[in-house]
């Protein structure tokens, strides 16, 4: 029997997310990002198409590296303005029945006692369909607006994140027993205090006596996503993640990374398949290869190079303002530039890219592959990727919003279903069960489970 | 023409809110507080009954004064466990068309840059139907869990709150012009950076360069509620509030307070009616006075005195554990005790209350009146209160949830409508317009409006 392919939609509550300039395409409806029904309609479409999840990215600052200010990002609507993704999750749950919703939240700017309650609440109101993408945040502009003079060094942010995770595990897994909510009217007991305990966490960054504010939800700990690609980020993922997002331009490059992750997991005492890996991909599809190719060519006319370079500056810290856009990238001289450009140089070490070509490359596909074609062509390519890269699924980015997602559901999902390749979702399953095939609670070999007292089980 | 009476429902995402013990009544469904449809169904019911708003209270700690721990509050489910109210607001908006949703959020525990974005997001996704109840928080247990050794002194919390308000006003009112979101595909401009400005706030508690993350919403600043009754709280309300919640046991006591507030408003440079005042009331109603009276007597059988005293301890800091429940309250000796009991002594200086009587009084009605009767009786009493106390409406607490609210909508709303006393809601109106009769933006004489540049108007 074939292992199904998991589908996750990659989104953000912004006018321009992964494809700068494409909001200007006549078919694009990104301007509606501030309307609730845009998001609930999209979630329903994706659920019809067999997606296991929709993932809502988030940042708390502006892309202000390009030209030294945020002007280019603003003009392009590049992840600005941005709305708070967490508050739409129950509304999405109310209008869907199986799709999970993952959301980014930072361990740097919010207190774990508040974050723990919010995710417990989301897990109650989605009936177990919420996931958390753990980030430590990377923008100086966010740090400055949140009261710091600049962001803490990378490793220090991860030290804090490690302690942060222990605090939330204690709140989610250890503070309230499964049978603590008695709700016995005759006995007059709603909560049995003997089955609730303080966590008495005292650490370098946090002192949290507890107990948790929210009663245990179906998953207790939300499904944990992570995307850090640095050595410290990888070690963090091996310890905490249950699903990982990765971006790589070829199956070979992704495969090397996947093998490392699987090895790290085993070294960390978990099973090699304890984490599901989603690699980023952009699919442009239509009934025939020709039509799909025509779409791709049409889309390229809407790329906005300045906006793409604003996005690139935010990712890499490299400011390409003032450079000749038709000059080759190799003329950029510093080591930081070269490192930031490694995605491109690994693709083909001999190719000379111009800045414009790189901007176009970023704008349609980002740091992952662009798969263009008929349903047959697309599914062949997804299968090839899945096998060669050894990934569990795809984190799908859309050039036209929500048209790209609608095209995928109309054309590709039926072909995946026809080949028995679509991981069909089971009503009533939690996000953890949908993605990991087991749950609804953290697996016994996960770090979070080590905080559990005997009175807390793995079954909801 | 008669001025209509405004209705607001007072609620909280907890098993026992204002009526400890009543969750045990066979008709009560408070156990469903962690189900999303409980809240969306309730909001629809209230909207049918002509309520202008539902208000979701919040705390971040436990009631741990009684007996020195949180056990009694837990047993009684007294505001524990508690879920995050903000994340259900868009789901409520999606299933209603006119009702506003107010929510408590504290200036003590969350950074204003994050809070500002969350409320802007809620205002977008409710199409202008969100309100903020500004609190500085009052529980030591919350302070300890959020990393402080104990809560800051009362005045210091208000100093911080004053600066906090300036930061959010700058983000909501001053950072992004009305016409900054151009979204012009031909020009290739989503946001015009010339119409976005940093706020460059530098104060004692916060440094926030800006700009705001979210684009302006219909109301920009959410409708501002406040409930502080201390002298400092009153001064804060005179400056910032657009609606105030008050609790008082008789129209005379409330009237004295209302006159003070109206005077303070004028002294602060606002109009005497710039703030709408909602006084707390509990209505128990049925088709006839006899049936309503029978309900009231039935409800009293479910009061839980220990849980009521846990709530009382949290409000006042007075621990009555170990006291003889049938002893008179006057035997309690300290000045703090006497002050905490002033609600009861002002009612009738000569009456001697036992602790049990006080617990019963708290459990049905809290610190406001209990109005028991047929629709005619109830509306007569609401009219009398409205005239004698000079209030604009009622903040209605329910003994049985959601049965009390359903009874009100079934019996009282039609009688209010028959007399032309119900403030009917207009689809498309913002919460500010529904409550203040004008908007959707802050009035020109409100402090928040003083931060506006010329390019920001009062119309959405």
Average pLDDT by stretches of 10, chain A with 460 residues: 89 97 98 98 98 96 92 97 98 98 93 97 98 87 80 82 97 97 97 96 94 98 90 91 93 94 94 95 98 97 96 87 86 57 68 87 89 98 97 97 98 98 91 96 96 82
Contacts of A37 in chain B (CB under 8 A): 94
Note whether A121 contacts B93, CB cutoff 8 Å: no
Q: Which of A25, A31, A69 sits opposite B183 (nearest CB)?
A: A31
pLDDT tens for A182-221 read 999 999 999 999 999 999 999 999 999 999 999 999 999 9
**What domains can be seen in chain B, in order of their start residue?**
6-306+368-450 (3.20.20.30)
Note whether A15 contacts B190, CB cutoff 8 Å: yes
Residue from B23, B70, B84 to probe the interface with A (highest A Cβ count within 10 Å):
B84
CB of A44 within 8 Å of a chain B CB? The answer is no
* Res B130 pLDDT > 80: yes
| Selection from B410, B416, B419, B413 nearest residue B287 by Cα | B410
CB of B213 within 8 Å of a chain A CB? The answer is yes
Q: What's chain B's average pLDDT? A: 92
What gap in Å lies between CA B374 and CA B357, rounded to an integer? Answer: 25
| pLDDT of the residue at A456 | 82
HEC string for A92-140? HHHCCCCCEEEEEEECCCCCHHHHHHHHHHHHHHCCCCEEEEEECCCCH
Contacts of B188 in chain A (CB under 8 A): 21, 24, 75-76, 304
Note whether B208 contacts A91, CB cutoff 8 Å: no
The answer to whether B46 and B9 are in contact (CB under 8 A) is: yes
pLDDT tens for B348-375 read 777 888 889 889 988 998 888 999 999 9
DSSP assignment letter at B386:
H
Q: Which of B88, B146, B215 sits opposite A125 (nearest CB)?
A: B88
pLDDT category of residue B460 using cuts at 50, 70 and 90: low
Query: A27 to chain B: nearest residue by CA?
Result: B185
Q: Which of A86, A193, A208 sits opposite B74 (nearest CB)?
A: A193
Query: A31 to chain B: nearest residue by CA?
Result: B183
A-B Cβ pairs (cutoff 8 Å, strict): 218
pLDDT tens for A314-362 read 888 888 899 899 988 765 555 555 555 666 666 777 788 888 988 998 8
What gap in Å lies between CA B291 and CA B123, rounded to an integer? Answer: 42
The answer to whether A371 and A282 are in contact (CB under 8 A) is: yes
CB of B44 within 8 Å of a chain A CB? The answer is no
| Selection from B131, B167, B163, B157 nearest residue B232 by Cα | B157
Sequence-ordered list of residues with C-beta below 8 angstroms from that of B380, at least 6 positions apart, any chain: none
DSSP assignment letter at A459:
-
pLDDT tens for B226-271 read 987 788 888 999 999 999 999 898 999 999 999 999 999 999 999 9
| pLDDT of the residue at B157 | 87
What gap in Å lies between CA A98 and CA A424, rounded to an integer? Answer: 10
Note whether A190 contacts B16, CB cutoff 8 Å: yes
What gap in Å lies between CA B370 and CA B361, rounded to an integer? Answer: 9
Here the ipTM equals 0.96
Contacts of A120 in chain B (CB under 8 A): 83
For residue B252, the distance in angstroms to the closest alpha carbon of chain A comes to 37
| pLDDT of the residue at A366 | 81
Note whether B91 contacts A91, CB cutoff 8 Å: yes
Note whether B87 contacts A84, CB cutoff 8 Å: no
| pLDDT of the residue at B332 | 58
| pLDDT of the residue at A352 | 81
DSSP assignment letter at B176:
B
The answer to whether A142 and A61 are in contact (CB under 8 A) is: yes
DSSP letters, A186-225, are TTTEEE-GGGB----EE-SS-EE----SSPP-SSSSPEEE
Within 10 angstroms of residue B446's Cβ, the number of other Cβ atoms is 21
| pLDDT of the residue at A76 | 97
pLDDT tens for B184-207 read 999 999 999 999 999 999 999 999
pLDDT tens for A16-46 read 999 999 999 999 999 999 999 999 999 999 9
pLDDT tens for B334-350 read 555 555 566 666 677 77
| pLDDT of the residue at B229 | 74
| pLDDT of the residue at A338 | 57
| pLDDT of the residue at A153 | 78
Touching A: B residues 91-110, CB under 8 Å: 91, 93-95, 109-110
| pLDDT of the residue at B314 | 86
pLDDT category of residue B149 using cuts at 50, 70 and 90: low
Query: A24 to chain B: nearest residue by CA?
Result: B185
Query: A63 to chain B: nearest residue by CA?
Result: B213
pLDDT tens for B42-96 read 999 999 999 999 999 999 999 999 999 999 999 999 999 999 999 999 999 999 9
pLDDT category of residue B151 using cuts at 50, 70 and 90: low
Contacts of A214 in chain B (CB under 8 A): 81-84
Tokens of A447: 């770090």
Phi/psi-derived region of residue A7, left when phi > 0, alpha when psi is between -120 and 50, beta in every other case: beta
pLDDT tens for B153-184 read 778 888 999 999 999 999 999 999 999 999 99
| Selection from B119, B174, B177 nearest residue B448 by Cα | B174
Calculate mean pLDDT across residues B277-301: 97
Contacts of B74 in chain A (CB under 8 A): 190-193, 196
DSSP letters, B369-385, are -EEEE-HHHHHHHHHHH
What gap in Å lies between CA A5 and CA A13, rounded to an integer? Answer: 26
CB of A203 within 8 Å of a chain B CB? The answer is no
């Amino acid at each position: 029997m074939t292992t199904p392919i998991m589908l996750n939609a990659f989104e953000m509550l912004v006018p321009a997310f992964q494809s700068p300039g494409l909001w200007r395409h006549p078919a694009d409806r990104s301007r509606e990002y501030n309307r609730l029904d845009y998001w609930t309609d999209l979630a329903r479409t994706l659920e019809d198409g067999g997606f296991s999840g929709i993932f809502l990215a988030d940042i708390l600052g502006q892309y202000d590296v390009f030209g030294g200010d945020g002007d280019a990002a603003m003009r392009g609507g590049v992840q600005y303005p941005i709305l708070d993704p967490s508050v739409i999750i129950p509304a999405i749950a109310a209008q869907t029945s199986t799709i999970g919703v993952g959301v980014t939240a930072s361990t740097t700017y919010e207190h774990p006692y508040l974050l723990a309650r919010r995710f417990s609440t989301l897990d109650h109101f989605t009936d177990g369909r919420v996931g958390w993408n753990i980030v430590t945040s990377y923008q100086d502009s966010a740090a400055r607006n949140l009261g710091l003079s600049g962001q803490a060094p990378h490793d220090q942010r991860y030290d804090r994140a490690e302690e942060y995770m222990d605090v939330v595990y204690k709140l989610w897994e250890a503070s309230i027993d499964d049978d603590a909510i008695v709700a016995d009217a005759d006995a007059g007991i709603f909560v049995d205090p003997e089955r609730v305990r303080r966590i008495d966490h005292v650490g370098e960054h946090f002192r949290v006596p507890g107990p948790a504010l929210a009663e245990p939800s179906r998953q207790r700990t939300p499904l944990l996503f992570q995307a850090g690609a640095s050595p410290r980020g990888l070690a963090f993922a091996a310890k905490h993640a249950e699903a990982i997002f990765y971006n790589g331009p070829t199956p070979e490059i992704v495969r090397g990374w996947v093998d490392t992750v699987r090895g790290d997991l085993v070294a960390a005492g978990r099973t090699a398949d304890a984490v599901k890996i989603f690699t980023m991909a952009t699919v442009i599809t239509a009934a025939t290869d020709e039509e799909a190719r025509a779409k791709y060519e049409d889309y390229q006319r809407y790329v906005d190079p300045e906006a793409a370079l604003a996005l690139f500056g935010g990712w890499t810290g490299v400011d390409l303002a003032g450079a000749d856009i038709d000059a080759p990238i190799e003329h950029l001289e510093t080591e930081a530039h070269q490192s930031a450009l490694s995605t491109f140089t690994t693709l083909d070490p001999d190719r000379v890219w111009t800045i414009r070509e790189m901007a176009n490359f970023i704008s349609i596909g980002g740091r992952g592959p662009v798969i263009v074609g008929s349903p047959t062509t697309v599914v062949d390519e997804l299968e090839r990727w899945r096998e060669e890269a050894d990934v569990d699924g795809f984190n799908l980015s859309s050039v036209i919003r929500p048209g790209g997602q609608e095209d995928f559901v109309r054309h590709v999902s039926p072909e995946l279903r026809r080949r028995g390749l679509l991981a069909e979702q089971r009503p009533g399953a939690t996000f953890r069960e949908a993605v990991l095939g087991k749950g609804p609670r953290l697996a016994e070999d996960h770090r979070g489970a080590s905080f559990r007292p005997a009175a807390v089980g793995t079954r909801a």
